[in-house]
Homo-oligomer: A and B are copies of this chain.
Amino acid sequence: MRKFIDSIGEFGLIKRFRDRIQNDPSVFKGSGDDCAVLKYTRNKYHLFTCDMLVEGVDFRQGENPYLIGRKALAVSLSDIAACGGIPRHCLVSLAIPKKTTIKFADELFRGIQLLAREYKINLVGGDLSSARQLIIDISVLGEVEKKYLVLRSGAKPDDLIFVSGSVGGSILGKHLKFRPRIKEARFLVRNFRINSMIDISDGLVQDLGHILEESKAGAVIYKDLIPVSRQARGLADALYMGEDYELIFTLPRKEAKRLSVNKVFNFKVIGEIISGQRNLRLIDNRGREKIIRSKGFRHF
């Protein structure tokens, strides 16, 4: 019987690939986090990541090309932010339908280029091909001081869980204009002991779930603490809708107390990491508890 990839799903296929990989000791952390972490200098690691945007999946046909280009780079920068690092160089692979106007291509490139300039990233090359759908894949090489590196796997019981901004409904517009949280992440890693971090690409519950899985921990979050975006149609959008690109991070209580004094950024506590069972519990305003399952965007 022929079995198709949608029968094991996106994450099933990734796991299948990942289990077969063997790397040498120059890889500090391979597949399975927001970025690959590679040995670089005595005090720094390289961060290496890529993200592919596909027409009809990550943006609609006829969408503003400037914003498509911008988003294509922004999603990779968000991965660098989630590891606490600084993006340095990028390569752009573009598969583009032949019947694309020069104006569209110009605007697409301008979106990439202006964001690259804003974040001082070098645009060092790429590849160009034709395809039926527009597809943009950008790979970014960055760096992070060893002492500032944050992974998904470091969450500890009693850590408080924060998000860097409001979530939900991003797909209705914000996903094309979001600011990658580089500045926020750098502020955090330079001033606080951040135990774990991830960016929300597939939805708050699913991405927090990745932290729990990698950290072998559970979590409690409070319904009334979730900062729901104005665009969200309700709590479900905030919990399960992807494309927010806000950061989820956890840090020890004592550190969190220091963070609460900060007025520059809009960090919100949403709950805490707990030991024991590796599930995620949502507590409502009457104290009722519900175990919630990972449910978020999947490509197949």
Whether a CB of chain B sits under 8 angstroms from the CB of A43 is: no
When C-beta atoms are compared, the residue in chain B nearest to A300 turns out to be B98
Q: Mark A75-101, 1 if CB is under 8 A from B, else 0.
A: 000000000000011010111101111
Whether a CB of chain B sits under 8 angstroms from the CB of A231 is: no
For A50, list chain B residues within 8 Å (CB): 91, 93, 125-127, 137, 139
Whether a CB of chain B sits under 8 angstroms from the CB of A113 is: yes
Q: How large is the interface on A (under 10, 10 to 19, 20 to 34, 35 or more residues)?
A: 35 or more
Q: Are A300 and B27 in contact (CB under 8 A)?
A: no
> How many identical subunits does the complex contain?
2
Q: Which of A54, A120, A135, A137 has the most CB of B within 10 A?
A: A137
Q: Are A124 and B299 in contact (CB under 8 A)?
A: no
Whether a CB of chain B sits under 8 angstroms from the CB of A292 is: no
Q: How far is the CA of A96 from the CA of B21 in the complex (A)?
A: 20
Q: Mark A201-235, 1 if CB is under 8 A from B, else 0.
A: 00000000000000000000000000000000000
User: Known contacts A89-B36, A139-B139: does B130 contact A299 (CB below 8 Å)?
Assistant: yes
In angstroms, how far is the closest chain B Cβ from the Cβ of A260? 34
Whether a CB of chain B sits under 8 angstroms from the CB of A279 is: no
Whether a CB of chain B sits under 8 angstroms from the CB of A291 is: no
Q: How far is the CA of A125 from the CA of B51 in the complex (A)?
A: 10
Choose one: B20, B99, B122; the contact of A113 (CB below 8 Å).
B20
Given A21-B113, A36-B91, output 5 extra A-B contacts at Cβ < 8 Å.
Answer: A3-B101, A13-B102, A22-B117, A49-B91, A57-B130
Q: Which residues of A contact B (CB under 8 A)?
A: 2-8, 10, 13-14, 16-17, 20-24, 26-27, 30-32, 35-36, 38, 41, 46, 48-54, 57-58, 88-89, 91, 93-96, 98-103, 105-106, 109, 113, 117, 120, 122-133, 135, 137, 139, 141, 299-300
